[in-house]
Amino acid sequence: MNALAKIEPAPLLRVTGLTKTFGNVVACRNVSFDLHPGEVLGIVGESGSGKTTLLNCISGRMRPEQGEVAFATRRLGLTDIYELPEPDRRRMQREEWGFVHQNARDGLRMRATASANVAEPLMNMGGRHYGKMRAETERWFNRVELDPARLDGQPRLFSGGMQQRVQIARNLIHHPRLVFMDEPTGGLDVSVQARLLDLMRELVRDLGLAVVLVTHDMAVARLLADRLLVMKQGDVVETGLTDQVLDDPQHPYSQLLVSSVLQI
């Protein structure tokens, strides 16, 4: 083992040379990065830069044309997720990952009760003790600052901010090792966003979560991300620590992105 290998911890996720096209459009071109346990990586860029496509490819929802997405699974260690048999990949996604969508209706069953939504990952992992699952669900309701009196309500009757809290609880209750978030506070009122962001920051820190976060909002990136990956027309044009990228952007596109936010 060389000296670097001793210092450098093993990555949780390793993306290598990932490319995805739609006809003539190159949505992501030759993207590579490592994500380590407990690290929050923000993927930023303007609309159409390829953020969502990259997120979909690395979260196993869309197979890239080229490249590899390797995840350190509990059972097999660092494994190309697209080489896994489909049922194994789905199980890994269910048991080891979370995915928080921008629109709660994409991540929740709106007509099931909120408690059923939150408890479902526990049941998927073999939980059968109703009382214990109910208690854990209630604990998570409190953790995301939802009133346990609403446990048996349907998310479709909740406010947007409450729905996002249900989605977050559902995606954390089973102790995932990696959580993907796609504009998790997009579409919410600014005041609701602020508290939700604080809550998410607390949870990420307390649980030591590894997160891949897609956002076009630099304030969200500043608050949550340790490191940023700036995308422009499918290319990663800059990566670095969040403060470095936002306070001293090197690439002209990152400079434009940051200055356009500061002008608002």
What is the contact surface with ligand ATP in residues (CB under 6 A)?
A: 22, 25, 27, 45, 47-53, 216
**Nearer of residues 47 and 263 to ligand ATP, judged by Cβ:** 47
CB 150 → ligand ATP: shortest distance, Å? 31
Q: Which is it for strands 235-241 and 227-232: parallel, antiparallel or unpaired?
A: antiparallel
**Tokens, residue 59:** 């979260």
Q: Which is it for strands 13-22 and 66-73: parallel, antiparallel or unpaired?
A: antiparallel
What's the rounded Cα separation, in Å, for the pair 41 and 69? Answer: 15
Concatenated DSSP letters for 171-217? HHTT--SEEEEESTTTTS-HHHHHHHHHHHHHHHHHHT-EEEEE-S-
CB 45 → ligand ATP: shortest distance, Å? 5
**Nearer of residues 144 and 257 to ligand ATP, judged by Cβ:** 257
What's the rounded Cα separation, in Å, for the pair 119 and 87? Answer: 21
CB 257 → ligand ATP: shortest distance, Å? 12
What's the rounded Cα separation, in Å, for the pair 69 and 22? Answer: 19
CB 27 → ligand ATP: shortest distance, Å? 4
**Nearer of residues 2 and 47 to ligand ATP, judged by Cβ:** 47
**Nearer of residues 66 and 159 to ligand ATP, judged by Cβ:** 66
**Nearer of residues 31 and 166 to ligand ATP, judged by Cβ:** 31
CB 15 → ligand ATP: shortest distance, Å? 15
CB 81 → ligand ATP: shortest distance, Å? 19
What's the rounded Cα separation, in Å, for the pair 87 and 24? Answer: 32
Which are the contacts of 125, defined by CB distance < 8 A and separation ≥ 6?
Answer: 94, 95, 174
Question: Running DSSP on this structure, what letter comes out for residue 38?
Answer: T
**Nearer of residues 120 and 183 to ligand ATP, judged by Cβ:** 183
Radius of gyration of the chain (CA): 19
